[in-house]
Structure 1
Amino acid sequence: MFFLVASGVLMALIITSPASDSVQFSWYTGESIRCELEVYNDDFSTQATESNPSKFHVHNIGELKPDSNYHYLIRCNSSDEIMIEGSFSIPLNPGDEFEFAVYGDSRSNLSVHEKVVKTIAKKEPLFVIHTGDIVYSDNRLNDWEDFFKATEPFGSTLFLPVIGNHEKEARNYKAFFALPGNESYYSYRAGDLLFLMLNTNERFDRYSKQYKWLKSLLKSETAKFTIAVFHHPAFSYGSHGDSFFVKTILVPLFEKYGVDLVLTGHDHNYQRIEHNGITYIVTGGGGASLYGIKDLSGPTASFKGHHFVLFEYDSGYLKGICYDTNENVIDSFDLFPR
């Protein structure tokens, strides 16, 4: 449970990190203040105290145990008043039944992004994935303020993003989100699901570090479902269309090593495309202005509207459901391991 205690200061929090023993708390306050973070359960307790006031607050908490429930409290300006409290866990082995949500391209429209997030939060997913273009410009702190305002309902849900073209060099992205390795691309495992979180804004050709990392991971890791997540779609019938280099470099790798599902954004609509046994989803309806579908006969399903996709994992199979912001079902589909 997450809630905001009225205090006159807007506060909004994001928790990230697919590491098995740590998370990062990043939060925004409407004015520059000093805050204190406390994280605890019956077997663990730690505090982080700030010495300098700021609007943006970032703290890493380590020595955590996966699949254990933790509580957190945030107080500011040396006040005894609890300004934010909630609970979280790191879902490494979440069991045979759980849900996660996916959306993208939230930039440019705060009110719509807020509506999408509120609708997602009602479903209470275990974690939320963002397919990139989180903000309009990574360098503009005003855009990040809007992001934190919109995502306030995600206060107890792990947030797992990838970099879109609007994040570019991603300096603030890497400051506000804690991700392993070089933070540009990483992997995350939740039970039987392996997520490959790629960055199609930097080199992924066959001689690149990212490609070699991806190929090595695909060859060495096994999972019931392998899911690739990145921004630029291999196949799209929207305004941007297919990404030539993704299609010619990454798709053969996905087909050879049994990737089951590919999640992308970039085109501001919803599309489900089936190609050589792999399901490709374009989910770019998180808030930015919408793009039409140029060829309605191309995708298996499509929708020009703001939306998100909820995935339900149940004992060996995945069900995907696309919802609009009024919780209407736009599309649903079942996935079985390849």
Structure 2
Amino acid sequence: MNSRFFLSVLLHCITGMGGAEAYAGETSRNFSDSSQLLTRGPYLQMGSETAVTIRWRTRMATDSRVEIGTQPGRYKTIIKDRETTTEHVVQVSGLKPDTRYYYRVGSSTGILQGNKDNYFRTAPPEGTQRKIRIAAFGDCGTNSKGYQAGSLNSYLRFTGTNPAEIMLLLGDNAYSSGKDSEYSKNFFPAYEGTVLKNHVLFPAPGNHDYYSSSQASRDGAYYRNFTMPTAAECGGVASGTEAYYSYNWGNIHFLSLDSYGTETDQKLRLYDTLGPQVTWIKKDLAANTRKWVIAYWHHPPYTMGSHNSDKEAELVHIRENFIRILERMGVDLVLCGHSHNYERSRLMHGHYGPENDFDPGIHALSASSGKYDGSENSDPYITASGKANKGTVYVVAGSAGASGHIQSGYPHNAMPYSMNDGGMLYLEVEGNRLDARFIRRDSVVADQFTIFKDVSKNVSKTVRAGSKLRLSASWPGAYRWSNGERSRSINVRPSRSQNFFVTDGRGSLADTIRVKVVSR
């Protein structure tokens, strides 16, 4: 490190003042060797329609500087924070919804890191119909048997130039004790060069994340390394804690929950349904207006992988006491980790007992695989918006980094689509359609399922004879109209009353539109 640079840093440490400021039109220069200063990141947190938080770590304390723009290499807005620190946390606000921004980070002395792969997308508003992409990594804080590298590389190959916008962590994000040194060794190096630079990260804690602190303290490395919303900055109802929170992304409402930490003097847990966390969950879900609800946390209610949900008290209590609340309040999808494998249910409801009590004739609301891939018995799952007890799909995806054994009798009776291998879960949500794929570490899509909401409609329309009428199918996907057209929407000019039909071509979805023609 040259003496001029060292003196500049030293002066910042002595005279730095707090408070972020935004500027436009300034220019900056690069450091000759950013590796001398940058030790972690950058990575993205707390994304919303109008803001995002950018974090990074430096070896020496400096002030903070973020430059952003809507085109790579052109950074018209500069945000500066004069306070000197090694943990840089800069909120960028005043952004436009559903817009891609490029950024780079550094200090008043120069830019530490920034290239065409440094970008983020702000959240789309409610009502958006475009495809939203989500990546979920469970138990990813280790590279057991190459699971971490294989899962990440398979995801990157699968998504190519259209990666996810947000990244969910399902807990156990750094092995084996959740220490800061383990985050520095086992988590950030694996992801910061690729997905952390351009996926807004929304984590949940696991038991290993707590082992270096305590269940009650909520002050371990997990909480120091990540910035989570506490005051509804990203939507939902304010939780008042980084341990659990909610946020909105387009038509999706997410809940990130804490299944291991304890609350209040009584040391209540997630499954103690009168505790602060569940009290907040009920308020949050009651206030939600988004079409889709996805909840995720670490400890699964159903598993016969490396953990046994019939024998382990935490898992038993979550199943018996907690998930009925989510089902009653319309949660569509539950994602968990903890077991180091992949397990998936059908659309199901009402099973809160041990494995042997599961009855597919009672608890599975569909006998289909839900794969919607043209294979036998693969119809998608169909539900309705806002309907209580309409069914939930449960997924365990805890093998994005960790490997493990399975229980005798695997898979769990409620989780028939399961495999003991590494991988991650990739989601796409487009309007009223949700597609999920388990991408195995060898790049094979080893399981998939699709859920539709509010489809196969029977509607009536009235039009004057010869007037143009636009008809649309109630789902995104494939279409076969009774007049031979294959697009989602068609224009017709009926001269007489008639019925129009559209199907998905697989016999799974069908709309009937009854058009009544009246005289001019």
Q: What TM-score does the superposition give when structure 1 sets the normalisation length?
A: 0.87
Contact 1:263 1:280 in 2 (8 A): yes
Corresponding residue for 2:208?
166
Cα deviation for residue 239 of structure 1 reads: 2.7
**Residues 1-338 of structure 1: matches in 2 within 5 Å?**
7=33, 9=35, 12-28=41-57, 31-32=59-60, 34=62, 36-41=64-69, 45-48=77-80, 52=84, 54=86, 56-75=87-106, 78-79=109-110, 83-85=113-115, 86-93=118-125, 95-109=129-143, 112-122=147-157, 123=159, 124-136=163-175, 140-146=179-185, 147-152=187-192, 153-154=194-195, 155-168=197-210, 169-181=218-230, 182-202=241-261, 203-204=269-270, 205-242=272-309, 243-274=315-346, 275-276=348-349, 277-297=391-411, 298=413, 299-337=415-453
Cα deviation for residue 11 of structure 1 reads: 5.1
Structure 1 residue runs of 5 or longer lacking an equivalent are none
Contact 2:344 2:394 in 1 (8 A): yes
Point out 4+ residue stretches in structure 1 off by more than 6 angstroms.
Answer: none
Q: For residue 201 of structure 2, give the secondary structure of its aligned residue in structure 1.
A: strand
Cα deviation for residue 15 of structure 1 reads: 0.3
Cα deviation for residue 36 of structure 1 reads: 4.3
Which structure is higher in strand share? Answer: 1
- Mapped to 2, the partners of 1:121 and 1:32 lie a distance apart of 33
Contact 2:62 2:85 in 1 (8 A): yes
- In structure 1, what residue type is equivalent to 2:330? G
Closer, same or farther: CA 137–25 of 1 in aligned 2, 3 Å: farther
- Mapped to 1, the partners of 2:104 and 2:287 lie a distance apart of 40
Cα deviation for residue 318 of structure 1 reads: 0.7
- In structure 2, what residue type is equivalent to 1:141? D
Cα deviation for residue 235 of structure 1 reads: 0.8
1:253-302 Cα distance to aligned partner (Å, 9 max, x none): 12211211100000010000233231100000121232325323522211
Structure 2 residue runs of 5 or longer lacking an equivalent are 1-30, 211-217, 231-240, 262-268, 310-314, 350-390, 455-520
Closer, same or farther: CA 180–83 of 1 in aligned 2, 3 Å: closer
- Mapped to 2, the partners of 1:239 and 1:301 lie a distance apart of 16
Bigger mean CA offset, 71-80 vs 308-317:
71-80
Cα deviation for residue 225 of structure 1 reads: 1.6
Please tell me whether Structure 1 or Structure 2 has the larger radius of gyration of its CA atoms: 2
| Structure ranking higher on relative contact order (CA contacts 8 Å, 6+ apart) | 1
1:187-209 Cα distance to aligned partner (Å, 9 max, x none): 11112211111111132322211
Report how many residues are paired. 331
Cα deviation for residue 52 of structure 1 reads: 4.5
- In structure 2, what residue type is equivalent to 1:150? A
Contact 1:237 1:293 in 2 (8 A): yes
Closer, same or farther: CA 199–189 of 1 in aligned 2, 3 Å: same
- In structure 1, what residue type is equivalent to 2:169? H
- Mapped to 2, the partners of 1:102 and 1:142 lie a distance apart of 23
1:28-71 Cα distance to aligned partner (Å, 9 max, x none): 45x546474323236962323566463x5433333333323322
Contact 2:154 2:441 in 1 (8 A): yes
Contact 2:81 2:90 in 1 (8 A): no
- Mapped to 2, the partners of 1:214 and 1:44 lie a distance apart of 40
Closer, same or farther: CA 220–53 of 1 in aligned 2, 3 Å: closer
Percent identity over paired residues: 25
Cα deviation for residue 233 of structure 1 reads: 0.3
Q: Considering only aligned residues, what root-mean-square deviation do their CA atoms show, in Å?
A: 2.7
Q: What TM-score does the superposition give when structure 2 sets the normalisation length?
A: 0.58
Closer, same or farther: CA 79–221 of 1 in aligned 2, 3 Å: closer
Contact 1:228 1:259 in 2 (8 A): yes
- In structure 2, what residue type is equivalent to 1:88? F
Bigger mean CA offset, 182-191 vs 8-17:
8-17
